[in-house]
Each structure stands twice: as C-alpha cells, then as structure tokens.
Amino acid sequence: MDRLTTVAFTGHRTYRGEADEALFALLCRLCEQGMRTFLCGMAVGFDLAATEQVIALRERYPEVRLVAVIPFAGQARSFSTVERRRYERLLEEADEQILLSETYYKGCYQARNYYLVEHAAALVAWYDGSAGGTQQTFLAALHRGLRVENLGTICPDPKLF
C-alpha cells in the first residue's frame, strides 16, 4: 500500500447520510488527484457510509482499492442486526482486511485510529467538534500533517495543534 495515494476516513457514529453527495464528489476529486486506496475503520455511521461510497466509486474508477481496518475480531457483535448485515456485506466488498487484534482490549479503537493516520496521506472526516475517537483521529491527522477534508460542521485551525 502506497501511503502517498491512500485516504483514511473518520467520523461520528451519528452520521445519517447528511453529506453523501458531497462525500462522493470529494472522493471523485481525490481519485482525479491520484488517490487510489481507501482505509475504513468499519464503525457504524460515517465509516460504513464512506465504505459504501468507495464501492460506488469503483464504477468510475475500477482501480480503487478498499481496505477494511478492523480493530478486533468480532467488532460487529454489538451492532444492531441491520448494521451487522451491512458491515458483513461491505466487508465482503473489501479488497483487503487488516485485523489489528484477535480480541477486544481497552484502547483498540484508538490503535485502529492511529493506524489509519499512520498509513494515509489524507483524511476525510465527518467531524462536528465533539470529543471522542473522531476528534482524536482528526487531531492526530492535523498534527502529522495529513491533508484533512472535513465534511462536518467544525474545522479547527490546524495552527492550534
């Protein structure tokens, strides 16, 4: 995987498709700029929605690769039945699955988030300014100097970090 042509996603679990059109348009622009690999952490909300958009993107850009970065085996056990089926369907569409841990442990989601930042040149976010994993990932990406595209409502000044 070439980090320079890789994009990661982060976003809140409360995402309900508010920016799907803008997300798809952004992904097309990123492909036109040479991005080809998309890393998804496979959480409910923005992650799964972004995964669906990457799959749709393949119709225009068949060389696009989708990589599912799974924090631990059984990640979807706590998902609703509908979201679990969605997760499993999308996981089957992934070109590669990277399992970071066989078991859950405190901090495994944070390890997944840092993996995303360390292996990408750009981050596409649905960040609204609230605390949590999305904020940690967003700030880590800014700190590391990634190109950050936020489709959410808040975009802090990178100079603050």
Summarize the confidence of residues 81-96 as an average pLDDT.
98
Confidence of residue 154 (pLDDT cuts 50, 70, 90): low
Task: Decide if 151 contacts 7 (C-beta within 8 A).
Answer: no
Mean pLDDT of the chain: 94
In the predicted model, is pLDDT for residue 161 greater than 60? no
Instruction: Give the CATH number of domain 3-156.
Output: 3.40.50.450
Alpha-carbon gap, residue 79 to 83, rounded angstroms: 6
pTM of the model: 0.93
Summarize the confidence of residues 111-130 as an average pLDDT.
96
Query: CA angle 82-89-79, nearest 5°?
Result: 35
Alpha-carbon gap, residue 90 to 96, rounded angstroms: 11
Summarize the confidence of residues 138-149 as an average pLDDT.
96
